[in-house]
Structure 1
Amino acid sequence: MPWPLLDRWLAAAPEPARTDWLKDHHYAHRGLHGGDVVENSPGAFAAAIAAGMGVECDVQKSRDGRAIVFHDADLDRLTAEAGPLAARSVGELTRIALRGSGERIPTLHDLLAQTRGAVPLLIEIKSHRDRPVSSLCAAVRRNLEGYGGPYAVMSFDPRVVRWFARQAPAIPRGLVVTEQGRKGWRGRAGRHFALWQSCANFLACDIRDLPSRFAAAQRARGLPVLTWTVDSAELLDRAKNHADAPIVEGEGVA
């Protein structure tokens, strides 16, 4: 299979001016969290801003179609509530306290008001393979309209990335990739097919997979490669050698 030729044809590399800024930062994974500071919380984002780091966050869709900053599909791990986040309205969700914290679940609108362009944002859009993605993608785009700072969207789901390629092509868009459990020929083909479907401008690769032939090939032809989750000094060294920017937490921050 002529992978390089098909990659260039079906997922052209972006103009460097659109994406080179992604390489200039370390990104705090779900904000700078730990101890009493909860992931994806205003406090975690404030700590990242104070440290001059970029912010990586996760976005889910509320029952009424709003973009909510939260990693899990269910509320159980991070709050005293239970059940799927998607079953609650934005009003219900923003009244829920994050576990062990006086802070509440923020919306993407809240996060944008907090950062105000001070640091770059990576917005990972969470999806469900059996559900449409357009409503959440449109909600994210609405929130970003008129926002003055640098930002990019990304997702494991090629449909999400493709939506932005078609509906908001000016927004930098990335494909999140892991090769775990997918190391054979089928996995390799699947990564290329996902790239072609998504028309991604950059990759966010699992640090456990680096060095990776797939990531190196895309990086060589002009797609920035970010890597997650870099949580140790050893992995930070690996990221420096095989990626353009790390998404860090814990000991990886230093």
Structure 2
Amino acid sequence: MKHFLAQRKPHLSPALPPEDKLKQPQLAALTSRPFAHRGVHGFLNPSTYQKYPNVPSPHQPYLFIPENTLASFQLAIQNQLAIELDLHYTNDRHLVIFHDNDTYRLTQVSQKIKHSTLTSIQELQLLSTSQQSKNPFPKEYVARIPTLESALQLIAGKTPLLIELKSEFNVNYRRFCQQTASLLQKYQDQHQNAPIFIKSFDPRIVHWFLHYCPNIPSGLLIPSHPNPLYYLGLSLLKFPFNSWLKPDFLSVDKKNIQNNHIQNYRQSHPVLCWVLSSNSEKHYQKYIDNSIIE
């Protein structure tokens, strides 16, 4: 991860239209440092992480850190990276950090998050952690699916935070947005307007934040597939749809980053690119304002 910080040249912020000038300080933080995709995770060399006080070093040459965990966020902070994470809404109205709609991939237990309670979610254990008795992180940092509240307590304004709100069929997106915004407002009150950004594939979520919570910059995700979602994202950048939705920034799959409509939007709004490695960032650098890296 430190390779990115050593090699990366700062991007010039695009000129914002007059109506967006008030967001310029927040958007400057959006391009200040690369975002660690779901935190710093995977099989890591011990040199990647710093030991906690009074905790023994692991004996194994590599340590496995699951994605979207408090440990992965702590490592991002220690490596001077911003944090990107994914957010879901449980059946009993809690905000939990997880990428997939179903818990199976990381726990081998299948639960749909939208049908689950917080208690049932936090009873699950993430894989590849129980055998690491010398793990330098507390068990709850590596074995448990965290809540947004617990992540905010850990991050505490130390680095920018990019939150993807996951849209689910039959989930009340308005309530999801309201509850997220309320928690983020409290967080910013506690940590002197700590830089926070939200993004979503769902234009309704982006529109809600633009309208009801304009102090938190909101971005539209544009994937390479599935095709309907890709074409929907591009269409929203064009007239007449752009009169309804004017996202503060775009977060774009690297396969589409050179698209003319995206590059035209970049003339006035930041564009992020996902997901890049140390070998690919240089190639895409001239088309983007910041990277989401892994």
1:150 aligns with: 195
Q: Distance in 2 between matches of 1:129 and 1:61?
A: 11
Alignment of 1:134-145 (within 5 A): 134-145=174-185
Q: What is the DSSP-based 3-state SS (H/G/I as helix, E as strand, rest coil) of the residue aligned with 1:60? A: strand
Does the CA-based 8 Å contact 2:96-2:146 persist in structure 1?
yes
SS in 2 for 1:247: strand
- Give 1:197 deviation, angstroms: 3.9
Q: CA deviation at 1:233?
A: 1.2
User: One-letter code of the match for 2:181?
Assistant: R
Counterparts of 1:126 and 1:13 in 2: how far apart (Å)? 28
Q: Which residue of 2 aligns with 1:3?
A: none
Look up the match of 2:154: 114
The code of the aligned residue for 1:210 comes to: I
Between 1:13-22 and 1:210-219, the stretch displaced more is 13-22
Distance verdict in 2 for CA 1:195–1:97, change over 3 Å: farther
How many corresponding residue pairs? 236
Tell me the C-alpha RMSD between the 2 structures.
2.3
The residue type paired with residue 277 of structure 2 is D
Deviation string 1:8-41 (CA, Å, 9 cap, x unpaired) is xxx9862233412211110000000012110001
Deviation at 1:181, TM superposition (A): 5.9
- Find the partner of 1:96 among 118, 124, 127: 124
* Match in the other structure for 1:252: none
Aligned-partner residue type, residue 120 of structure 2: E
Q: Does 1:58 find its partner at 2:86?
A: yes
Normalising by structure 1, we get a TM-score of: 0.85
Q: What letter is aligned with 2:222?
A: V
| Separation in 2, partners of 1:177, 1:43 | 28
Match of 1:23 in 2: 31
Q: 2:18 and 2:110 mapped to 1: Cα distance?
A: 43
TM-score (normalizing by structure 2): 0.74
**Can you list the C-alpha shifts for 1:88-119, whole angstroms capped at 9, x where unaligned?**
11122123211222420000001000100001
| Shift, 1:227, TM fit | 0.8
Could you list the structure 1 runs, at least 4 aligned residues long, displaced by more than 6 angstroms after superposition: none
Amino acid corresponding to residue 79 of structure 1 in structure 2: T
Q: 1:189 deviation in Å? A: 3.0
Q: Distance in 2 between matches of 1:84 and 1:194?
A: 33
Gaps of 5+ in 1: 1-10, 250-254
Is the CA contact (8 Å cut-off) linking 1:60 and 1:68 kept in structure 2? yes
Distance in 1 (CA, whole Å) between partners of 2:262 and 2:124 is 39
CA distance in 1, matches of 2:167, 2:226: 20
Using the TM superposition, give the Cα deviation of residue 83 of structure 1 relative to its aligned residue in structure 2, in angstroms. Answer: 2.4
Judge conservation of contact 2:26–2:195 (CA < 8 Å) in 1.
no
Corresponding residue SS for 1:14: helix
Aligned residue number for residue 212 of structure 1: 259
Alignment of 1:59-78 (within 5 A): 59-78=87-106
Counterpart in 2 of 1:167? 212
For structure 2, list consecutive stretches of 5 or more residues without a partner in the other structure. Answer: 1-16, 44-63, 130-138
